[in-house]
Amino acid sequence: MRRLIVISLLAALAVCTSATASSTTPSSVNTQLALAHIATAKYATNLNAAKAAGYQIITKMIPNMGYHYMNPNVKGFDVTKPAILVYEHKGSTWQLGALEWVFPKIPAKPPIQGAKYGAFGAACHYADGTFVPAESQDQCPTTAPGTGAKFGFWHPNLVTLHVWLWYPNPSGLFSGTNPLVTGFDHS
């Protein structure tokens, strides 16, 4: 556990250092990243704290990404309150990797300068983290195929914004995927 905390702090330091070293990165981005880091530190290696704060599983392991936990009470964009926490899992250890926000369309002005967006197709989500692609809610099975988990919610196509604040990502801070989490894909 201590090793994961040290690794996450080193990763955060690397993110902030590389952002500071860039002549094109304004200090407001550094401030936003620092605020997000401070606000989510309590969840870095404590999935139970995230659950107690209202985060619920919405996807099992997505390759090169992680397990997604969403807080349905978080609305809009607030850098200190990500709607989704993306965790890596190995054995009994959970490590926060990325923060994520979702939007119905690409924001007119990026909420974080330099943001790059991804996409998540329309889907049905279930209480155990199963999700099934579906263009409309009426296409959602009443329970999760294969597990029978209770239906949770459906969403239309979404625009996503990942920030790999807690795990280093050679593909970039705002990349949707991270090749360094491949080792967690089958945990």
How far apart CA 94 and CA 187 sit, in angstroms, is 11
C-alpha torsion angle, residues 87, 88, 91, 94 (rounded to 10): -40
3-state DSSP assignment of residue 175:
coil
Whole-structure pTM value: 0.84
Please tell me the predicted confidence (pLDDT) of residue 168: 95
The tens digit of pLDDT for each residue in 126-152 reads 999 999 999 999 999 999 999 999 999
Q: What residue ranges do the domains of the chain occupy?
A: 2-121+157-184
